[in-house]
């Protein structure tokens, strides 16, 4: 690759990162200062408090985003992939499966992932609401239309998800670049009008504000954190863009624009404190309101799109790691494997987003719900990062504490400040997170119970084959592939076939899928063939949690290893498990019934692994838990 081509690729990836990664944090100036000085927080708008808040926001962006996420957390990549699921897999691989620590890290990661779903519901709701609220600034008569217009925009956005973003995605980067340029331009104009606001760059103002106000300052932290929402997104999207473009986009575009705009809004409020009703839309005067509403609506739709796509990606990882049942996953691009659409997740998320918009009614009310999901996920990320750098990277204990302890203290402070708002909306993402945590842990525990039941009744495969070929059954033409669990004995489908049809195919392949705690399996490690004699084979396939399951594609690769397949001569035998809840040991009855319901509605293995439907024979089996 030439140096010129590398530069152009880096520039394109950086522009892409501006469009996708920084949409959420980039739209925070729409509502942050308005929420901080909301009457319910009891913070008086005066020059000292204003400079203190602006200083807290500026240094928060520097410490939390620039140092914690861009500098430290981006280093904790799982083969180039980021996000709380990838980080959890990395942390889990650094400790023994039998240790108590493994269980707690699992809980920490799953809880962080569950709260990410809560965050992904509130982001579209608060972002689009805050953009449409600009119409109230233009004319108060539009107030009654804010919620209906927000609903229209969100329904249109979710209805278009099945088309994918490959058509409009190329516009995300340029539009968000225009958005950040507008933020910077408006900020500069107001800084020039009130240069005294630059004093907020001195961290002493932030410290003085905290010392002088104490309790009120602590409460205000719950709203200040809104300026940092979206920091998780830059880590989650690392696999799409890489570290360098994400870092470059932050330091050259997003951070300077955000810093200038917050300083600019501070300068505006120093001169015109009455603009606190909606400082963002009053930065340039009445003429700019309608153009800003249009631009901010586009920016918030892009920010919401990034969050929705992130939810699809997270769900796919959770399915692969065994935390959610298999669902229908559609690919919306023939060229980009990461562009997926999950209908069930899409419509469920839309319903909850609309409930949030209608129930809370304004961005200010939703802000209380927003902070707690963000800060809890940040806290989980910091804890998992400590275990990665300590137990996987084997760094010095004092260095690990120094690297993460400071951020842990900040995360605990922000989370505690937001915990005060549980009764004022903070319950919403916590309720969502708790429901999803229950679903994910129930599915994982239920699968373990099914596995234990099958193991208890399993017939060792090698022993069975030895006895079978003492008086072998009639062999018929073709290849039979039996899907088999990681530690199962003889597949139930084989026993049923022998019992009812009294025949065995001339070539028999036992097919086992192993999911690694890594995003992608190396191509040379994906396939392992073990010869069992009598034209019987064990075929082990390894997938990473971001790999695309495609059995026909893998079977085509087997030819290079001496086991060629002709699809028209191959039949797939799959045991369709019917799970029933039985009294006795196991989970609580309500959890068992929840697992049974999910199991019955899970996507079939043949569909999930993209096996041609005309080559599949399903045989039923019943499993008690």
Give residue-wise pLDDT tens across range 563-595: 999 988 999 998 877 888 877 777 888 999 999
At 487, the pLDDT band (50, 70, 90 cuts) reads low
Pairing of strands 570-580, 474-483: parallel
Average pLDDT over residues 129-143: 86
Please give the pLDDT value at position 168: 65
Average pLDDT over residues 340-344: 89
Q: Is the whole-model pTM more than 0.75?
A: yes
Distances in whole angstroms, Cα of residue 373 to Cα of each of 56, 312, 368, 418, 467: 20, 18, 10, 9, 58
C-alpha to C-alpha distance for 170 and 164, rounded to whole angstroms: 12
Contact in structure between 76 and 389 (CB atoms under 8 Å): yes
Q: Which residues contact 605 (CB under 8 A, 6 or more apart)?
A: 326, 483, 574, 611
What is the percent of the chain with per-residue pLDDT over 70, rounded to a whole number?
Answer: 97
The confidence score (pLDDT) of residue 21 equals 87
pLDDT band at 334 (very low <50, low <70, confident <90, very high): low
Average pLDDT, the chain: 88
pLDDT tens, position by position, 19-57: 888 988 999 999 999 999 988 778 899 999 999 999 999
Q: What is the spatial distance between Cα 487 and Cα 485, in angstroms, rounded to a whole number?
A: 6
Contact 622, 477 (CB under 8 A): no
pLDDT of amino acid 441: 94
Q: Tell me which residue of 16, 14, 26, 112 sits closest to 61, measured CA to CA.
A: 26
Residue 253 to residue 258: CA distance in whole angstroms:
9
Query: Torsions phi, psi of 78, nearest 5?
Result: -100, 90
Task: Quote the Cα angle for 201-206-211, to 5°.
Answer: 155
- The pLDDT, as a whole number, for residue 330 is 84
* Residue that wins the pLDDT comparison between 275 and 93: 275
Would you call 142 helix, strand, or coil by DSSP? Answer: helix
Question: Is residue 338 very low, low, confident or very high in pLDDT (cuts 50, 70, 90)?
Answer: low
Please write the tens of the pLDDT for every residue from 269-287.
Answer: 999 999 998 999 999 988 8
Cβ-based neighbours of 545, under 8 Å, separated by 6 or more: 85, 86, 89, 317, 320, 321, 515, 516, 517, 518, 519
Alpha-carbon gap, residue 449 to 426, rounded angstroms: 35
Q: What does the pLDDT read at residue 335?
A: 53
**Structure tokens belonging to residue 566:** 């002709």
pLDDT at 164 over 90: no
Q: What is the per-residue pLDDT for 2?
A: 46
Least confident among 102-111, 483-492, 504-513: 483-492
What pLDDT, on the 0 to 100 scale, is given for residue 538? Answer: 94
- Residues 389, 459: Cα–Cα separation, whole Å: 43
Domain regions of the chain by residue span: 12-445, 457-624
- Of 81-85, 388-392, 619-623, give the lowest mean pLDDT range: 619-623
How do beta strands 503-515 and 340-341 pair? unpaired
pLDDT at position 5 over 50? no
The secondary element (H helix, E strand) that includes residue 115 is: helix 100-132
In this prediction, residue 167 carries a pLDDT of 60
Q: What is the dihedral of CA 62, 63, 66, 70, to 10 degrees?
A: -170
Domain 12-445 listed as CATH 2.120.10.30: no
User: What pLDDT does 4 receive?
Assistant: 45
Average pLDDT over residues 507-524: 87
Residue 540 parent element (H or E): strand 536-543
Q: Is pLDDT of 239 > 80?
A: no
Q: Find the mean pLDDT for residues 348-371.
A: 90
pLDDT exceeds cutoff 90 at 486: no
| φ and ψ at residue 152, rounded to 5 degrees | -60, -45
- 464 token code pair: 């069975």
**Integer angstrom CA distances of residue 161 from 117, 230, 333:** 17, 21, 12
pLDDT at 363 exceeding the cut of 70: yes
Question: Does residue 360 carry a pLDDT above 50?
Answer: yes
Q: What is the DSSP string of 478-538?
A: EEEEEE--TT-SS-HHHHHHHHHH-EEEEEEEEEEEEE-SSS---GGGSEEEEEEETTEEE
Mean pLDDT for the stretch of residues 80-84: 81
Q: What is the mean pLDDT of residues 230-239?
A: 81
Say what percent of the chain tops pLDDT 90. Answer: 45
Q: What pLDDT does 614 receive?
A: 86
Q: Cβ atoms within 10 A of the Cβ of 617, count?
A: 14
The phi, psi pair for 477, rounded to 5°, reads: -65, 145
Mean pLDDT of 350-355: 95
Query: In the predicted model, is pLDDT for residue 120 greater than 70?
Result: yes
pLDDT band at 159; cut points 50, 70, 90:
very high
Residue 337 reports pLDDT greater than 60: no
- Reported confidence tier of residue 366, pLDDT bands at 50, 70, 90: confident
> Could you tell me which residue, 8 or 544, shows the higher pLDDT?
544
| Tokens read off for 31 | 């509502």
């Amino acid at each position: 690759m030439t140096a010129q081509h590398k530069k152009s690729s880096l520039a394109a990836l950086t522009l892409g990162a501006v469009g996708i990664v920084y949409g959420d944090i980039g739209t925070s100036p729409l509502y942050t200062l308005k929420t901080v000085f909301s009457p319910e927080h009891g913070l008086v708008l005066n020059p000292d408090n204003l400079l203190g808040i602006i200083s807290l926001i500026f240094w928060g962006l520097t410490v939390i985003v620039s140092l914690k996420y861009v500098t430290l957390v981006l280093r904790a990549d799982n083969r180039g992939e980021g996000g709380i699921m990838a980080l959890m897999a990395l942390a889990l691989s650094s400790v023994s499966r039998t240790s108590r620590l493994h269980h707690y890290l699992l809980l920490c990661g799953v809880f962080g992932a569950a709260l990410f779903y809560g965050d992904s519901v509130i982001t579209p709701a608060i972002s689009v609401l805050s953009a449409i609220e600009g119409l109230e600034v233009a004319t108060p008569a539009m107030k009654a239309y804010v919620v209906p217009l927000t609903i229209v925009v969100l329904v249109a956005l979710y209805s278009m998800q099945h088309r994918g973003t490959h058509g409009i995605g190329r516009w995300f980067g340029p539009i968000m670049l225009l958005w950040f340029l507008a933020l910077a331009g408006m900020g500069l104009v107001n800084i020039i009008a009130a240069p005294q606001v630059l004093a907020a760059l001195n961290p002493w103002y932030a410290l003085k504000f905290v010392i002088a106000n104490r309790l009120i300052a602590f409460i205000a932290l719950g709203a200040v954190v809104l300026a940092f929402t979206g920091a998780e997104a830059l880590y989650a999207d690392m696999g799409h863009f890489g570290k360098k473009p994400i870092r470059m986009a932050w330091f050259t575009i997003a951070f300077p624009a955000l810093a200038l705009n917050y300083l600019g809004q501070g300068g505006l409020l120093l001169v015109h404190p009455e603009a606190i009703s909606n400082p963002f839309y009053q930065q340039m005067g009445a003429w700019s309101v309608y153009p800003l509403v249009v631009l901010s609506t586009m920016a918030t739709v892009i920010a919401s799109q990034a969050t929705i796509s992130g939810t699809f990606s997270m769900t796919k990882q959770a399915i692969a790691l065994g935390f959610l049942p298999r669902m229908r996953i559609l690919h919306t691009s023939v060229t980009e494997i990461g562009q997926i659409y999950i209908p069930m997740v899409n419509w469920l998320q839309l319903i909850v987003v609309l409930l949030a918009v209608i129930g809370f009614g304004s961005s200010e009310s939703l802000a209380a719900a927003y902070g707690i999901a963000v800060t809890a996920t940040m806290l989980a990320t910091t804890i998992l990062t400590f275990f990665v750098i300590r137990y996987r990277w084997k760094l010095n204990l004092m260095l690990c504490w120094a690297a993460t302890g400071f951020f842990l203290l900040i995360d605990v402070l922000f989370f505690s400040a937001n915990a005060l708002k549980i009764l004022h909306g903070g319950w919403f993402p916590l309720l969502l997170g708790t429901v999803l945590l229950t679903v994910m842990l129930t599915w994982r525990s239920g699968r373990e119970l099914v596995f234990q039941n099958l193991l208890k009744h399993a017939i060792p495969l090698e022993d069975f084959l030895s006895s079978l070929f003492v008086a072998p059954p009639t062999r018929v033409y073709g290849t039979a592939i039996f899907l088999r669990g990681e530690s199962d004995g003889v597949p139930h489908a084989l026993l049923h076939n022998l019992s009812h049809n009294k025949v065995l195919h001339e070539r028999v392949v036992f097919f086992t899928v192993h999911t690694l705690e890594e995003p992608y399996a190396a191509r040379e490690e994906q396939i392992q063939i073990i010869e069992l004699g009598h034209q019987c084979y064990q075929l082990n396939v390894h997938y990473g949690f971001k790999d695309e399951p495609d059995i026909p594609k893998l079977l085509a690769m087997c030819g290079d290893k001496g086991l060629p397949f002709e699809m028209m001569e191959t039949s797939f035998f799959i045991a369709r498990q019917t799970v029933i809840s039985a009294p006795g040991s196991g989970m609580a009855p309500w959890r068992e019934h929840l697992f049974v319901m999910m199991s019955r509605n899970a996507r079939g293995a043949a569909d999930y692994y993209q096996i041609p439907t005309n080559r599949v024979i399903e045989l039923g089996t019943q499993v008690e838990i």
